[in-house]
Structure 1
Amino acid sequence: MPNILIIGATGYVGTALSQSLLRSGNHRIYGVARTPSKALSLSATEVTPILSTSPSTLSHTLTTAISTHHIDIIIDVSGANQESASLLALVKQIGAARLEKAAQDGVTVVPKLGFIYCSGTWVHGSSNEIVNDLMPVGTKDSPTPPAELVAWRCELEREVLSARDVLDVMVVRPALVYGRSCAIWTGLFEPLFQAAKAGSGEVVKVAADEESRPGLVHVDDVAAGFHAAVDKLPIISGTGVYPVFDLQTSQESMRDILGAAAREMGFVGKVELVGAGEDLFAKAMCTTGNCSSGRAKTILGWTPRREGFVEGMSVFVKSWEASRG
């Protein structure tokens, strides 16, 4: 039963992932919590909390936890920037020390510490042309430049892959995620919700591009993808397989998505997509993505089951409304 430590365990993807792994009965799950209340919520879901309330002591807390609980694989689904880079540096140190200690003890064959990083398909940039996870990102040879908001991830991905000498590594890239709380969609859904609540029949302007066709994936399928990555990591590592996998199940029009959401909210006015402007997050949300997930399906055995955002909008809007409080 491998011991898995999830960074971002209380978050949107981390919650779904921890429950997927626990349901299999094959893993013991640990999760980092930044507050006592978050730690309690993890305990309530059978995830063993690693409490770290101060950024200044996080490295010590993680080092101790990884050693004490004999952690086999660390998964970073925190979505952080500098913190993810610092985490990788720490995990590399721990992984190298583990191998060195084994060598000193005369142990010639020892499993490497595993590290799986959650990136995202926005690193491919915006294009209707099909792309795959073997294509370079963030280089002069890339088909398109990455979304500006996440351009930093390209270099971090390369740093993860370069750590293969001391770690078993993998990079998993979900497309734009929907389902459950749909938290990332709040900026686009909220103006429609407020207009519907007010009974307005006027025009509602939304900061989105008319021509955008984002690549999508349900949060349950993201969890299934990472679950498959955990199970296949020790099998793939050291084989020469390029350990980067895109997760996308559909590509749908932003016009159709917001139109369907407005109808389910009871909004009877007109939805006008006025463009993302210079807001980096809004621009990233409008990234058009047409990614192939064939390698995730054939190599990892990923089997997505929740396909179609617009098709299930009646359920997704209700879930979003219930989650907003």
Structure 2
Amino acid sequence: MSEAYDALLLVSFGGPEHPDDVLPFLANVTRGRGVPPERLAEVAEHYQHFGGVSPINQQCRDLLREIERGTDLPVYWGNRNWHPMLADTVAQMRDDGIKRALAFVTSAYGGYSACRQYLEDIAAARAAVGPSAPVIEKLRHFHDHPGFVEPHADAVRAARATLPPGGNVRVVFTAHSIPTSMAATAGPDGGRYEAQLDETAALVSAAGAPDLPWDLVWQSRSGPPHVPWLEPDVNDHLAALAADGVTGVVVSPIGFVSDHLEVIWDLDNEAASTAKRLGLDYVRAATPGTDPRFVAMVHDLVRERVNAADSARRSRLGTLPLWDTCSLGCCPPPRRGAP
């Protein structure tokens, strides 16, 4: 393994770790996106509700520690939007003599913000470091890998068991909403983000609650009001379910790998409050986090890329096409502010 690649890089979104970090962090996240100031102030309050600290960085530290236990490669960590910044990490890798690394990104899906933007971030970090920066290759999407699907399925099963017996129960899968124009250009044929999420939802449902109906809905919209985003929003959908006679919901955030702020605020606070107001029994299923199967998946993805025999027999449960390297025209960036 070390003859082909000499490091593994964990790449994540990043989050503030002090109240003074919140607004600079949000400025990094939303730069050039035309997000209304009132929406930024609203999101800032979400972070301040937790002392200005996002749980995502500690979750990355925990994941990093578990990944390190199963590989002989040095493992580094860099973020898109907050420290440790990706460019600083790539500079450290250069100083340590790293020449060629694989990158595991904490996003299972395709699309611009879920995949292409991370590729751009890696390229920008390498450009900032200069010609001596290591080559960095992103690992494939893992939306249908057993190490991702099975922890989600077990979490749905465990969450369901906490609901009162009987009743009209439904599973509601959630993921981060994106502009519909971005969704339409995700993947070489368009629609890849939604298609992968739909496949993940079907796989998790079949394994975790095969007898329950399910829906895929969206959360965490942040763009300008005139730009159409994927709908329905989870809160609107809960209202529709209650009106249709549903009495209980298991909400499974399959769009996420850990319980970071968009999960604990949007689902554990806002959606849970909506459900309480509607009289719905509500429980939120856990995310993979540092589940041993999820950690083992990272090692498996590395083996796939390194060994031709492993690449030929990818560990996966779905049928959508997969590839290691995206084409240059795949998932183009959105036209900012376009309707």
| TM-score, length basis structure 2 | 0.35
Larger relative contact order, structure 1 or 2 (CA cutoff 8 Å, min sep 6): 2
The alignment's TM-score, normalised by the length of structure 1, stands at: 0.36
